Amino acid sequence: MNESRAAVEGQSSRTICIQLPDLLAVCSPFELRTNRHCKVISLESEKWLLNSRVALPSMKWGSAKVGLLAAACYPTTDAPQLRLIADVLGLLVYQLDHQTLGTSTDDHSDAESECSDTRTEQGIFSLLSDRLSSAAYRNPAWYIRFHKAQRAFLHARCETPAFDVGNLERYISFRRQHCGFLMPLEMIAYAGDLRLPENLLSNERLEILRDCACDIAALSEDIVYCAKGTPIDPLNVLSVIESGSLEDALVMAGNIVNQRVNAFLDVERALLQGLTMDTQSGNESIRSYVQGLRDWVAGFVNWLYETERYFGDKGSEVRAFGWVFVPVQG
């Protein structure tokens, strides 16, 4: 396609054709692997989600491919652990898709109800309370961290309507909480049965790696969300970036993702080179955790093109060529 932007006029709207940043190329340093339990766990998790209460049966779980997300992000996890992870991801995807806090009058009461519930309860994640309690018994320190990430997510969603973006770095910091991805990142330790002491997890370099992994995923999702049309959600990096056009904003957002990837690689190199020989057990835990972050980034970014949440059934075409048709209002 010779033109960077083509417009197709319709009766009440128009569609523009835009090329997305090549996220797969940007994230190519992270190798994609897939868990061998993918198919079985996907079917089991979808069945459980369909049979759950609330409005979960209304979700098109087959096209969401949450089981594939779990299998791609946690490639070496045993089946029982992968099943819980898939269910956690399923509830997270459902909440993001069906309980997004809106600004319209119709959405206001639902938003208030959700905020009220999540400040006192676990929200929709209470469906997993029994299994999470069992996991907490085996690894209390991990569960405390997971629960903290869960609460941060639920509270960030309630702050959304009153959030003043301000500037790019402030937006990215808030987005880490709002996207909910810190929960599945905490599941890395659960997936690998890693007993990571707090003095390791509070290591500045590990924190930077975790934040970079979360930012790569959240900003990549912001980028592909533009395929749903304009106006772009105010809580999207494309709305925060000061640019003259959507195309310029996409280029800049892609550059930010690339910067986060490079930062991850630089900090990872320094961290692994700094490991000492006298703490072999701790070293292995760190290496396993860092590999888990790598797996999660690779799995999530590839899943963006497999699920139908963003591109419908055109994911393979977008993966190959990068072009999307974006509905534009006005």
User: Is residue 255 within 8 Å of residue 166, measured between CB atoms?
Assistant: no
Using alpha carbons, select from 7, 93, 83 the residue that is nearest to residue 326. 7
| Amino acid at residue number 229 | G
All domains of the chain, ordered by start, with CATH? 6-328 (1.10.600.10)
CA 54 – CA 124 distance, rounded (Å): 9
Displacement of CA 13 from its chain's centroid (Å) = 31
**Cis amide leading into 231 (omega within 30):** yes
Q: What are the tens digits of pLDDT across the range 238-280?
A: 888 877 788 888 999 999 999 999 999 999 999 999 887 556 6
pLDDT recorded at residue 146: 95
Based on C-alpha coordinates, what's the Rg of the chain? 20
User: Is residue 18 within 8 Å of residue 57, measured between CB atoms?
Assistant: no
pLDDT recorded at residue 221: 96
Length in residues, the chain: 330
Coil, strand or helix: which one is 234?
Answer: coil
pLDDT recorded at residue 95: 87
Place of tokens 């309690």: 133
pLDDT recorded at residue 115: 53
For the chain, the helix, strand and coil percentages under 3-state DSSP, each to the nearest 5: 70, 5, 25
Q: Strands 323-328 and 6-9, how do they pair?
A: unpaired
Coil, strand or helix: which one is 323?
Answer: strand
CA 123 – CA 110 distance, rounded (Å): 13
pLDDT reading at 47 higher than 80? yes
Residue 79 structure tokens: 């089946």
Q: Considering only 244-248, 281-285, 304-308, which range has the smallest mean pLDDT?
A: 281-285
Q: Considering only 22-26, 68-72, 105-109, 243-247, which range has the smallest mean pLDDT?
A: 105-109
